[in-house]
Amino acid sequence: MNEQDYEARLHIKTIEVQHLYNAFSHYNRYEPTPYAALEELCAVYPFDPTDTVIDFGCGKGRLNFYLHDRFDCSVIGIEMNGQFYEDALANQIAYTKKMKKRRGSIRFEHTYAEAYSIPDDVTTCYFFNPFSIQIFMKVVDQILMSVERHPRAVDLILYYPADEYRYYLEHQTVFEQVEEVRLKELFEKNHDERFVIYRMDLSRKVAKRV
């Protein structure tokens, strides 16, 4: 299926790339992860209905609806831009009207990522370079605080991984890289066309994924 076919299936509108013409210098433009890339990720990294996934800088909610539809997992979208947040809510209304009721939940939060307190059932956090390394570090601190409150395994998925993100995770945190998904036909031309997955609490997460 092409991008339009996926949108029609999910009854959502997320295709348009949009810039933030404002003072939010630490936040990057809205650009959804291609559906084809999500297909390749999920072929290697299957989500589970028991997962709770946060998409930081979710924009209009593409990842959230895709994962909820395919895996029935719970998804949370964090978006600081008011218009994108409203677009995500409009997509949610259209999606839930047409799709069968699922066990997993969908919700969106209109807030800054660094101010969001991570729920203690979150298992996976997704990043498509939504903001600067300074904010990323604060978000990781929030994740670590959540794990301290409720010890568990947590994965971080980076698409088009920023070097600053990776350096920070590998040199200043307990996260370890456990997987890399290189996108077919794209990686050879652009080595940023990949997903890199980091994990904390390796043994428990491996047991879950088997």
Q: Are 195 and 180 within 8 A, CB to CB?
A: yes
Give the model's pLDDT for residue 21. 47
With 0.85 as the threshold, say if the pTM is over it: yes
C-alpha of 36 from chain center: 15
Residue 68: predicted pLDDT: 97
Distances from the Cα of 92 to the Cα of 15, 37, 56, 95, 182, angstroms: 15, 22, 17, 5, 30
Return the half-sphere exposure (C-beta side, CA atoms, 13 A cut-off) of residue 129: 15
Query: Which pairing describes strands 106-110 and 124-127: parallel, antiparallel, or unpaired?
Result: unpaired
At how many degrees (to 10) do helices 133-149 and 163-172 cross?
Answer: 40
CA distance 195 to 132: 18
Q: What is the pLDDT of residue 158?
A: 98
Burial 65-103 (b: 16+ CB within 10 A, else e): bbbbbebbbbbbbbbbbeebbebbbebbeebeeeeeeee
Identify the pLDDT of residue 202: 44
Instruction: Please provide the DSSP assignment of 155-190 as one string.
Output: EEEEES--HHHHHHHHHHSS-EEEEEEEPTTTTTT-
Question: Would you give per-residue pLDDT tens digits along the chain (210 residues)?
Answer: 899 999 999 999 998 765 554 545 556 677 899 999 999 999 999 999 999 999 999 999 999 999 999 999 999 999 999 999 999 999 999 999 988 778 899 999 999 999 999 999 999 999 999 999 999 999 999 999 999 999 999 999 999 999 999 999 999 999 999 999 999 988 888 888 999 999 997 445 444 443
The 10 Å Cβ neighbour count of residue 115 is: 12
**Separation between Cα atoms, residue 60 and residue 39, nearest integer Å:** 19
- Residue 18 has a pLDDT of 57
The CA angle 206-169-161, to the nearest 5 degrees, is: 90
